[in-house]
């Protein structure tokens, strides 16, 4: 697989980026830190602003203690339009020096030359970075970003509702037992509310659907060593079994709009319209967070557990999370690397773990595996799956190939036909 140019950024922008790449091109790097007077622009996602603003403030203070004249300009971005804004910025002359990327986005920017290579040795605990995260930053043995935090999905459920339906507030450990319990919860609550979902599983929730695909031994795409290219694999018997199982769960248990995605499912649970959902571990906090549309009355009633999957096994979880990178066009790459080093230090990761966010390394993950609030999600990490680390993956996400496939099935298409159509589209995009 060759390092390719991606049209979204453009050849001219990429060439400018490479020309400016590396701290060695920055004459100011040799100056006394107290004499540096450049500015450093950092793009973080809004999660940092809403959930750990004190960390951003503390890191900026540490940075400015060494570089008192350097202005750090932190700009917060929304996930919905960040990629489009970043592509535009990298093609112009007002681009960030440091950028947060979702870990499914990084490979596109690595392949188009938009990210500067980094030295892992400059970062705390790089020898124990969680492999699934580290892989998203690695290409041909070189590192182009730093893992920031991890996320894995678990069962999030209302203990009172489960107990009212089944007599127990403990989520069963096998899928068969869990579905029996959900049938009882449905029978109890649908007597008064036909729109109540014992399992709120939105139909376009592709992260969940692909977990069932992984649970049956399937995959989204496979790399063909002979042809040296990726090929869609949703038509395989294993993948089709997973897709069909997911869709059957949606049809049976989701009594709300089955064609939505998962963006508001924490609010659905906060409004007491769902007993169980499959979400990121931190979303259990969102359900009860009154400052952000949650329901404080549910405090103490929301629990997490590993999500049971097919064949008596746990459901494989997608390992999400974010990475931090220094852009290749930055003229202050050394300052960017130092800011990222502070922001991902062991001390900084302690701030995240104190909020039950999974850290970027195995060392600090270990205590969370036995902490009641995080055990389910922390223990889901080692067996987690990830999207294909392929050049065209971001295009597949942008064109919503998986969401459209699921929607077509819910509207009546056969799993075989919809999976074949999705594979054709994946094959068109994934190697570009």
Tens-digit pLDDT profile for residues 351-393: 999 988 899 999 999 999 998 878 877 887 767 888 888 888 8
β-pair type (98-102, 39-45): parallel
Closest CA to 380 of 159, 262, 200, 214: 214
Task: Give me the pLDDT at residue 26, please.
Answer: 58
Helix ranges, 216-326 (H): 237-253, 265-270, 283-288
| CA end-to-end span of the chain | 10
What whole-number distance in Å separates Cα of residue 190 and Cα of residue 182? Answer: 11
Mean pLDDT along residues 82-105: 93
Query: At residue 401, does pLDDT exceed 50?
Result: yes
What whole-number distance in Å separates Cα of residue 10 and Cα of residue 99? Answer: 18
Asked if 9 and 90 count as a contact pair (C-beta separation under 8 A), the reply is yes
Backbone angles phi, psi at 26, to 5 degrees: -95, 105
Note the pTM of the prediction, 2 decimals: 0.76
Q: For residue range 253-268, what is the model confidence (pLDDT) as tens digits?
A: 999 999 999 988 999 9
Asked if 247 and 409 count as a contact pair (C-beta separation under 8 A), the reply is yes
Task: Give me the pLDDT at residue 131, please.
Answer: 85
| Tokens matching residue 113 | 């030359």
Backbone angles phi, psi at 345, to 5 degrees: -65, 165
CA distances from 106 to 120, 182, 384 (A): 16, 38, 18
Percent residues over pLDDT 70 in the chain: 94
Asked if 113 and 18 count as a contact pair (C-beta separation under 8 A), the reply is yes
Mean pLDDT along residues 47-57: 91
CB-neighbour burial class of residue 385 (10 A; exposed 0-12, middle 13-18, buried 19+): middle
- Name the DSSP class of 315: P
DSSP string, 137-168: TEETTEE--EEEEEEEEEEEEEHHHHHHHHS-
In this structure, of 116-120, 159-163, 260-264, 405-409, the range with the lowest mean pLDDT score is 260-264
Query: At residue 45, does pLDDT exceed 50?
Result: yes
Asked if 110 and 393 count as a contact pair (C-beta separation under 8 A), the reply is no
SS3 4: coil
- Going by pLDDT thresholds of 50, 70 and 90, the confidence category of residue 73 is very high
Q: Name every residue whose Cβ is closer than 8 Å to that of residue 199 and which is 6 or more positions away in sequence.
A: 182, 249, 253, 254, 274, 275, 276, 277, 278
Mean pLDDT along residues 229-254: 98
- CB burial readout 350-364, b (16+ within 10 A) else e: ebbbeebbbbbbeeb
Reported as half-sphere exposure (CB side, CA atoms, 13 A), residue 198 has a value of 24
| Tokens matching residue 361 | 């390394």
Q: Name every residue whose Cβ is closer than 8 Å to that of residue 64 and which is 6 or more positions away in sequence.
A: 70, 72
E strand or H helix at 223:
strand 221-224
Q: Look at the block and give the residue holding tokens 């049809």.
A: 251
Q: How many residues are there in the chain? A: 432
| Tokens matching residue 377 | 């999600």
Q: Look at the block and give the residue holding tokens 């400059």.
A: 122
Closest CA to 346 of 134, 123, 140, 157: 123
Query: At residue 27, does pLDDT exceed 90?
Result: no
What whole-number distance in Å separates Cα of residue 146 and Cα of residue 130? Answer: 11
CA angle 108, 89, 323 (to 5 degrees): 45
């Amino acid at each position: 697989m060759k390092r390719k140019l991606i049209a979204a950024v453009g050849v001219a922008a990429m060439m400018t980026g490479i020309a400016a790449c590396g701290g060695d091109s920055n004459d100011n790097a040799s100056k006394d830190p107290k004499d540096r007077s450049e500015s450093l622009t950092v793009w973080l996602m809004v999660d940092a602003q809403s959930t750990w603003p004190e960390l951003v403030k503390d890191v900026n203070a540490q940075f400015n203690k060494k570089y008192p004249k350097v202005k750090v300009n932190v700009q917060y971005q929304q996930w919905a339009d960040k990629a489009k804004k970043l592509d535009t910025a990298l093609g112009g002359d007002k681009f960030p020096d440091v950028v947060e990327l979702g870990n499914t986005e990084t490979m596109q920017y690595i392949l188009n030359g938009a990210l500067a290579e980094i030295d892992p040795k400059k970062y705390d605990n790089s020898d124990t970075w969680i492999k699934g995260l580290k892989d998203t930053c690695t290409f041909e043995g070189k590192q182009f970003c730093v893992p920031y935090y991890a996320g894995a999905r678990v069962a999030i459920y209302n203990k009172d509702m489960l107990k009212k339906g089944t007599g127990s507030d403990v989520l069963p450990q096998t899928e068969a037992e869990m579905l029996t319990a959900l049938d009882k919860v449905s029978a109890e609550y649908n007597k008064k509310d036909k729109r109540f979902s014992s399992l709120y599983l939105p139909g376009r929730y592709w992260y969940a659907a692909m977990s069932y695909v992984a649970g049956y031994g399937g995959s989204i795409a496979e790399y063909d060593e002979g042809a040296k290219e990726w090929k869609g694999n949703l038509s395989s018997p294993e993948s089709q079994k997973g897709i069909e199982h997911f869709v059957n769960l949606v049809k049976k248990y989701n009594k709300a709009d089955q064609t939505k995605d998962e963006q508001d499912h924490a609010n659905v649970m906060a409004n007491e319209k769902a007993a169980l959902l499959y979400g990121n571990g931190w979303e259990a906090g969102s359900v009860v967070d009154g400052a952000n549309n949650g329901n404080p009355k549910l405090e103490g009633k929301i629990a997490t557990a590993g999500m049971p999957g097919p064949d008596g096994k746990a459901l494989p979880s997608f390992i999400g999370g974010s990475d931090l990178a220094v852009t290749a066009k930055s003229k202050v790459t050394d300052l960017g690397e130092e800011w990222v080093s502070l922001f991902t230090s062991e001390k900084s990761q302690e701030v995240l773990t104190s909020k039950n966010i999974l850290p970027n390394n195995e060392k600090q993950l270990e205590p969370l595996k036995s902490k009641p609030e995080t055990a389910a999600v922390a223990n889901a990490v080692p067996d987690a799956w990830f999207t294909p680390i392929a050049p065209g993956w971001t295009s597949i996400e942008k064109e919503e190939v998986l969401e459209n496939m699921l929607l077509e099935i819910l509207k009546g298409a056969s799993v075989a036909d919809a999976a074949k159509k999705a594979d054709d589209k994946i094959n068109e995009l994934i190697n570009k």
